[in-house]
Amino acid sequence: MAERNWGGNVTYHARDLHRPRTLEDVQAVVRQATAPRPLGTRHSFNTLPDTPGELISLEHLNRVLALDPQRRTVTIQGGVRYGELGRYLHDHGFALPNLASLPHISVAGACMTGTHGSGDRQPSLAAAVRAMELVTASGDIVRTSREQEGDRFAGMVVSLGALGMVTELTLNIEPTYQVRQDVYEGLRLAEVERHFDEVMSAADSVSLFTTWQDEVFHSAWLKRRSTPDTPVPPVWFGAGRATQEHHPIPGLDAASCTPQLGVAGPWFERLPHFRLSHTPSNGEEVQSEYLLPREHATAALRTLFTLGERLSGLLLVSEVRTVRADDLWLSPAYRRDSVAVHFTWRRDEAAVRRVLHEVEDALAPFEARPHWGKVFVTPPERLQTVYPRLPDFRSLCNDLDPHGRFQNAFLQAVIGVPAADSSAVSSLRR
């Protein structure tokens, strides 16, 4: 099998790829597999999904199962993508509180890796999970909820695929709403340093894009819940409002991006940066991301601008966002309001890994946590420091998968759980 991830930088080594169509099929595949691993929409940029055994895709289990207007919840199968869920919820008068930049990713995959959107008041996407269903390594079904298990449930949501196949999720929802998106050009670092809280709270979602050159963010994307009289200034902290649509990566066509220029639309068509109907971002690329405590934001940004020349030629763009704290054990925003710094690189992973040593060394004083689904070189001993619940998560893995059937070499290297067979899988520090 020669399947690859979305960015094209990882080739999976699995012996087989299964696409079950029913819950019973999932159970049967798991029971017969030697080293099963879940495969979502392939948007992980490292070997987190990889296995020498069997990849299991839930792409055919992609239905909305129940909508409960009274409890304000929706229950979905594990293969549902955010784009389709957004349309369904909006058509029924409901919404999610936040979305990531891509509507193409699966809800289960995003939650399992701690993926987030943007906004001072918004935690990671996984914080919306209220209940879940797992097919564990034995092939048995486990149904659990926050009400039932409390803190243990908080350890199960961002699971890295280590606990089993997530076949159902129940999410908190709210009434639908409209969003307008405005872009500003030429926001200076000095203004961000002086007014960081005001800048990042100026809209429901704020994204600052830069290539770490000239102490400037070339564009700032502001997404606001819209009312007819929403005021939008022509100049914002010295940056001028754009009169044409932008792509996050300078010089690329904005046709793949969601509508800007203040034209209001449904939340699910504005909160992401990219349209579901288009190929997102750049395509052939590698991504990295780090979340650090909000109080270190301006010092960290100033430090990264000093690396601008070193990153030039390899970096396509960086994005800076804020994320509210949550209580999910392996969430990069666990118990701390955070600033997320994202890097989109040219697809040269060897070169990216070399420069990431410098980036991570620069961010180390700020207690940076890497995103689990991106490329990073953080040594396990540092991960143990910045992710304090890793020992608890290892215990959870031992409870639900005592023989390590859902583990792989990546997880063994990163969190120290035993792998059933790691010989054919590239490790974290290849």
287-302 mean pLDDT: 98
- Cα(106)–Cα(134) distance, integer angstroms: 16
Give the number of other CB atoms < 10 A from CB of residue 342: 20
Sheet containing 129-135, strands listed edge to edge, beginning at the edge strand earlier in sequence: 64-68, 73-77, 165-172, 129-135, 141-145
pLDDT for 427 beyond 60: no
Task: Tell me what percent of the residues of the chain surpass a pLDDT of 90.
Answer: 92
- Alpha-carbon distances of 364 from 113, 310, 382, rounded to whole Å: 21, 18, 9
DSSP structural state of residue 104: T
- What confidence score (pLDDT) does residue 430 get? 32
pLDDT in tens, 334-373: 999 999 999 999 999 999 999 999 999 999 999 999 999 9
- What confidence score (pLDDT) does residue 304 get? 98
pLDDT in tens, 369-398: 999 999 999 999 999 999 999 999 999 999
Write out the two tokens for 180: 């307008």
Q: What is the 3-state secondary structure (H, E, C) of 371-390?
A: CCCCCCCCCHHHHHHHCCCH
Beta-bridge partner residues of 81 = 106
- What confidence score (pLDDT) does residue 274 get? 95
pLDDT in tens, 138-156: 999 999 999 999 999 999 9
DSSP structural state of residue 242: P
- Alpha-carbon distances of 318 from 307, 344, 397, rounded to whole Å: 13, 6, 34
On the 0-12 / 13-18 / 19+ scale of CB atoms within 10 A, 148 is exposed
- Cα(180)–Cα(270) distance, integer angstroms: 7
| Poorest-pLDDT segment among 224-238, 300-314, 322-336 | 224-238
CB 43 within 8 A of CB 105: yes
pLDDT for 227 beyond 50: yes
Beta-bridge partner residues of 225 = 179
- What confidence score (pLDDT) does residue 423 get? 40
Q: Which residues of 297-326 are buried (b: 16+ CB within 10 A; e: fewer)?
A: bbebbeebbebeeebeeebbbbbbbbbbbb
Alpha helices in 163-319 (DSSP H): 189-194, 196-200, 297-305, 308-311
Tell me how far apart the terminal alpha carbons of the chain are, to the nearest angstrom. Answer: 21
Angle ∠(428,45,351) on CA atoms, nearest 5: 70
pLDDT for 421 beyond 70: no
pLDDT for 17 beyond 70: yes
- What confidence score (pLDDT) does residue 333 get? 98
Q: To which residue do tokens 């031992």 refer?
A: 398
- pLDDT confidence bin for 281, thresholds 50/70/90: low
- What confidence score (pLDDT) does residue 419 get? 55
Q: To which residue do tokens 């979340």 refer?
A: 291
Beta-bridge partner residues of 338 = 293, 323
- Cα(172)–Cα(192) distance, integer angstroms: 33
β pairing state of 165-172 and 141-145:
unpaired
- Phi, psi of 180, deg, nearest 5: -110, 150
- What confidence score (pLDDT) does residue 282 get? 56
- pLDDT confidence bin for 231, thresholds 50/70/90: confident
Write out the two tokens for 54: 């069997």
Q: To which residue do tokens 């070193």 refer?
A: 310
pLDDT for 170 beyond 60: yes
Domains in the chain, CATH or no CATH each: 64-175 (3.30.465.10), 178-375 (3.30.70.2520)
- What confidence score (pLDDT) does residue 404 get? 94
- What confidence score (pLDDT) does residue 396 get? 96
- What confidence score (pLDDT) does residue 65 get? 98
Among 186, 240, 192, CA closest to 213: 186
Residue scoring higher pLDDT (316 or 421)? 316
